[in-house]
């Protein structure tokens, strides 16, 4: 007996624009459901993320009524998942179970059924997943067939149901057939039937994103205007292949026990690697024999946290906030935490992901809202702690007040890794590094493989250090704004990204962090000894900070020193901070109606280089530039006498 299971996964990221969700609804979610509802006979499994359920409850309740009617008919099955679409394997166990419970409770209330199956976000499986699912009342989930091909299962026997376990907790596993994913909806409907009929029997699962059916480029015309989906359902109906749901097949005898490695689909394992390694493994796999190709894998999901610094910071900040919520529980704070665990801003593949500022900013917005609730419950004026928040083996300094949250990283040039305003719920430091990607090394193409041209690649520049504030540069005297912007300048000092010594103090009104380093710089062929200190001063009543600098020429001769303090701001658009080279500035205001106006003040006149940061990344439409924010480089160039000390203050305030 041959059974065909059609699983559709519908999801939009936390923080996505309403018009984008509306477009997906009109082009994909609505026409798919309307067709299935009217035909009555196709049996389908649907998964919707909680973000979409929230949107549908607000905007399209009739759609939910249709879903409930099809559940009542036993026509469709509704799958559970983490409510806000987290990658379950990389969030705390407590949050895993709470997110699944939230989804189970919603499905039970809205559709009158208790889900037994779960959609595994990005099909990211690790060995602990079975225990989490079992504790959450889930009996089965889906993984790619390629997950099992390295677990002693032949491709010819992969179209079935299996069991797996962890710590004695058993669940059932259905496999997603990768060949069907490539056939549907891009080939004629009969091709899928021919493929299935090439087997004697089995459970054949096609599971993929709902956006593939209407939203992806050219797909609406193919799927609905050219009636591909209707023709497909009719072809299956007349083929003798039974359309089933996962719940219809769970009572069948599983083929065997399997143990699945920590993995996801091959493309994700490839995207998790650095640029050159991505291309190397792709080329190697293409030239590997079919029987050995299944063993060629890339990395796994956690590699994104070592590949992208912002991914790691968001992930580790989530663990930090989760611990705060656990220690001082509040249901509203927990919901914000769960929203921040939405996976979309934590990684990057064929779509924008971590490179999309509005998705990244939504993660921080929800983390800061959760923190704000917990902080107010503690009724403290200011809190300071030393901990290795980013797990790099070095302590960071965390400072929280009613207005701000800061992370200072003494080990990375004494930099300000995070500067967040809790009044605006925005992390003003959440700027992506300009990083080499695998597709930069190839002709740029869109999602359908269409060549997009080479012109956009001409603007590529790559950062040699992480973007953060209060980075201390010593540059050659002839360095220009364009040199600095394109990373074609000579860094003559050794302060980046070297460790600084530090001390902290706290009072009821604020905190101070003193950072110091003795290093060297160069004036032509003369080696200069530099003693630098900077004191970060935080007033708990203000939204911002001050930095008090002392730079000493510790050499016994005069020296020309061009010092530049780098700030970064995640402004909302290029219009806020257009490229400028401004001399002798003591005060400057950036007007950003979306994320807050920023006022800079200086005790000495400085030269400001205002430099937009644009990354070149992949998206649904191909290679594109994305505005990330701005570098604001504050420079003082002067001659220092032997043993001379220059002191100055800088203020940063959110208005």
Same domain for 313 and 241 = no
> What percent of the chain has pLDDT above 90?
85
Bridge-based pairing state of the strands 242-244 and 415-421: unpaired
pLDDT at site 452: 47
Domain membership flag for residue 509: yes
Classify the C-alpha dihedral 253-255-257-260 as positive or negative.
negative
Q: What integer pLDDT is reported at residue 345 of this predicted model?
A: 95
CA 32 to chain centre: 28
Q: Per the domain annotation, does 20 fall within a domain?
A: yes
Has residue 412 been placed in a domain? no
Q: What is the pLDDT of residue 449?
A: 53
> Do residues 6 and 118 share a domain?
yes
Per run of 10 residues, the mean pLDDT along the chain (length 655 residues) is 96 95 97 98 98 98 98 98 98 98 98 98 95 97 90 87 96 95 95 95 96 94 97 96 96 88 89 91 87 84 96 97 97 98 94 92 98 94 95 97 97 97 97 91 59 64 95 97 95 96 93 98 96 97 97 96 98 96 97 97 97 84 85 97 97 97
H helix runs in 42-86, sequence order:
50-59, 61-72
- 121 with 6, same domain: the answer is yes
Do 172 and 89 belong to one domain? yes
Does 391 map to a domain? no
Residue in the block written with tokens 């609406």: 220
Give 390's contacts (C-beta < 8 A, 6+ positions apart).
312, 313, 316, 396, 409, 417
Predicted TM-score (pTM) above 0.75: yes
CA–CA distance, 174 with 190 (Å, rounded to integer)? 24
Give a yes or no: residue 398 inside a domain: no
Neighbours of 157 (CB within 10 A): 14
CB atoms within 10 A of CB 614: 18
Residues 81 and 197 in one domain: yes
Beta-carbon contacts of 506 under 8 Å, excluding residues fewer than 6 positions away, are 382, 384, 512
User: Which tens digit of pLDDT belongs to each residue from 87-145?
Assistant: 999 999 999 999 999 999 999 999 999 999 999 999 999 999 999 999 999 999 999 99
DSSP 510-565: EEEEEEEEEEEEEETTEEEEEEEEEEEEEETTSSEEEEEEEEEE-SSS-EEEEEEE
Q: Can you give the pLDDT at residue 457? A: 66
- Domain-located, residue 69: yes
Rounded to 10°, the helix 189-196/228-237 angle is 30
Contacts 24+ apart (CB under 8 A), 619-623: 619/351, 619/352, 620/216, 620/217, 620/350, 620/351, 620/446, 620/447, 621/217, 621/446, 621/447, 622/444, 622/445, 622/446, 622/447, 622/450, 622/452, 623/439, 623/444, 623/445, 623/452, 623/456, 623/457
**Domain count within the chain:** 4
Residues catalogued as catalytic:
122, 209
Residue 9: give its domain's CATH number: 3.20.110.20
Q: Are residues 146 and 284 in the same domain?
A: no
Q: What is the dihedral of CA 69, 72, 73, 74, to 10 degrees?
A: 130
- Which residues, in sequence order, are bridge partners of residue 171? 164
Residues 203 and 351 in one domain: no
Q: Name the 3-class secondary structure at 491.
A: strand
- In a shared domain, residues 24 and 82: yes
- Say whether both 176 and 67 belong to one domain: yes
Give the DSSP per-residue string, 111-178: HS----EE--GGG-B-TTHHHHHHHTT--EEEEEHHHHHTTT--GGG-SSEEEEEETTEEEEEEEE-H
Question: How many residues would you count in the chain?
Answer: 655
DSSP secondary structure, 184-216, as one string: TTTS-HHHHHHHHTTSSSEEEEEEEEGGGTTTS
* Residue 244, SS3 per DSSP: strand
How many helices and strands, by DSSP H and E, does the chain display?
Answer: 20, 24
Separation of alpha carbons 599 and 562, rounded Å? 24
Last residue of a domain, one of 351, 379, 407: 379
What pLDDT does 533 receive? 98
The pLDDT of residue 410 is: 98
Cβ pair 419, 651 in contact under 8 A: no
Q: What is the dihedral of CA 587, 588, 589, 595, to 10 degrees?
A: -110
Residue 612 DSSP SS3? strand
Domain extent for 292: 265-301
Tell me whether residue 346 is in a domain. yes
Q: pLDDT tens digits for 31-60?
A: 999 999 999 999 999 999 999 999 999 999
**Judgement on whether residues 190 and 281 belong to the same structural domain of the protein:** no
Whether residues 373 and 443 fall in one domain: no
Looking at residue 554, which CATH number applies to its domain? 2.70.98.10
Same domain, 471 and 601: yes
* Spatial separation of the C-alpha atoms in residues 10 and 148, rounded to whole Å: 25
DSSP 253: P
Query: What Å distances lie between residue 287 and 268, 325, 374, CA to CA?
Result: 19, 50, 54
Contacts of 100 (CB under 8 A, 6+ apart): 80, 81, 82, 83, 88, 118, 132, 133, 136, 138
Q: What is the rounded CA–CA span in Å between residue 474 and residue 561? A: 7
Residue 483 · residue 629 · CB < 8 Å: no
The alpha carbon dihedral of 474, 480, 483, 486 has a sign of: positive
Q: Do 368 and 357 form a contact (C-beta atoms < 8 A)?
A: no
Backbone angles phi, psi at 383, to 5 degrees: -135, 140
């Amino acid at each position: 007996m041959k059974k065909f299971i059609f699983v559709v996964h519908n999801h939009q990221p936390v923080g996505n624009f309403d018009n984008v969700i509306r477009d997906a609804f009109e082009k994909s979610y609505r026409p798919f459901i309307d067709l299935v509802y009217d035909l009555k006979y196709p049996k389908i499994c649907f998964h919707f993320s909680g973000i979409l359920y929230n949107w549908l409850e607000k905007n399209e309740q009739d759609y939910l009524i249709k879903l409930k009617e099809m559940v009542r008919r036993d026509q469709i099955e509704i799958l559970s998942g983490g409510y806000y679409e987290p990658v379950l394997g990389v969030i705390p166990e407590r949050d895993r179970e709470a997110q699944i419970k939230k989804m189970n409770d919603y499905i039970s209330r809205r559709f009158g059924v208790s889900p037994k199956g779960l959609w595994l976000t990005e099909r990211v499986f690790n060995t602990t997943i079975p225990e989490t699912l079992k504790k959450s009342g889930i009996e089965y989930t889906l993984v790619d067939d390629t997950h099992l091909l390295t677990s002693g299962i032949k491709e010819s026997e992969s179209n079935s149901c299996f069991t797996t376990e962890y710590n004695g907790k058993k669940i059932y596993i259905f496999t997603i057939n990768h060949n069907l994913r490539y056939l549907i909806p891009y080939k004629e409907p009969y091709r899928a039937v021919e493929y299935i009929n090439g087997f004697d029997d089995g459970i054949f699962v096609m599971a993929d994103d709902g956006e593939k059916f209407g939203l992806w480029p050219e797909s609406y015309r193919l799927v609905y205007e050219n009636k591909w989906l209707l023709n497909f359902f009719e072809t299956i109906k007349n083929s003798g292949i039974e359309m089933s749901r996962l719940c219809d097949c769970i009572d069948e005898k599983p083929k065997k026990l399997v143990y699945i490695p920590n993995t996801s689909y091959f493309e994700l394992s490839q995207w998790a690697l650095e640029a050159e390694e991505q291309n190397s493994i792709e080329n190697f796999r293409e030239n590997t024999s079919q029987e050995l190709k299944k063993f060629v894998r890339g990395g796994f999901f956690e590699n994104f946290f070592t590949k992208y610094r912002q991914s790691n910071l968001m992930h580790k900040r989530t663990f930090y906030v989760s611990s705060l919520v656990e220690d001082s529980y509040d249901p509203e704070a927990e919901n914000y935490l769960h929203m921040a665990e939405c996976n979309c801003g934590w990684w990057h593949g064929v779509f924008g992901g971590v490179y999309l500022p509005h998705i990244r900013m939504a993660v921080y917005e929800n983390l800061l809202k959760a923190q704000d609730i917990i902080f107010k419950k503690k009724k403290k004026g200011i809190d300071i702690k030393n901990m290795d928040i980013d797990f790099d083996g070095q302590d960071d300094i965390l400072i929280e007040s009613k207005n701000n949250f800061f992370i200072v990283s003494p080990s990375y040039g004494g930099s300000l890794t995070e500067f967040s305003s809790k009044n605006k719920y925005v992390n003003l430091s959440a700027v992506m590094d300009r990083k080499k990607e695998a597709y930069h090394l190839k002709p740029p193409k869109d999602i359908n493989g269409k060549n997009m041209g080479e012109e956009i690649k001409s603007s590529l520049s790559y950062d040699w250090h992480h973007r953060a504030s209060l980075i201390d540069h010593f540059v050659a005297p002839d360095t220009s704004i364009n040199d600095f912007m394109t990373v074609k300048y000579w860094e003559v000092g050794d302060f980046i990204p070297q460790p600084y010594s530090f001390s902290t103090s706290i009072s009821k009104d604020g905190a101070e962090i003193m950072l110091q380093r003795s290093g060297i710089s160069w004036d032509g062929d003369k080696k200069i000894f530099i003693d630098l200190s900077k004191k970060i001063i935080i007033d708990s009543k203000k939204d911002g900070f001050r930095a008090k600098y002392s730079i000493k020429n510790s050499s016994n001769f005069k020296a020309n020193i061009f010092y530049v303090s780098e700030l970064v701001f995640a402004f909302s658009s290029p219009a806020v901070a257009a490229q400028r080279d401004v001399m002798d500035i003591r005060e400057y205001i950036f007007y950003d109606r979306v994320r807050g106006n920023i006022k800079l003040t200086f005790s000495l006149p400085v030269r400001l280089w205002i430099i937009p940061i644009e990354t070149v990344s992949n998206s649904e439409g191909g290679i594109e530039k994305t505005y990330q924010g701005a570098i604001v480089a504050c420079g003082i160039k002067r001659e220092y006498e032997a043993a001379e000390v220059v002191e100055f203050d800088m203020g940063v305030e959110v208005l």
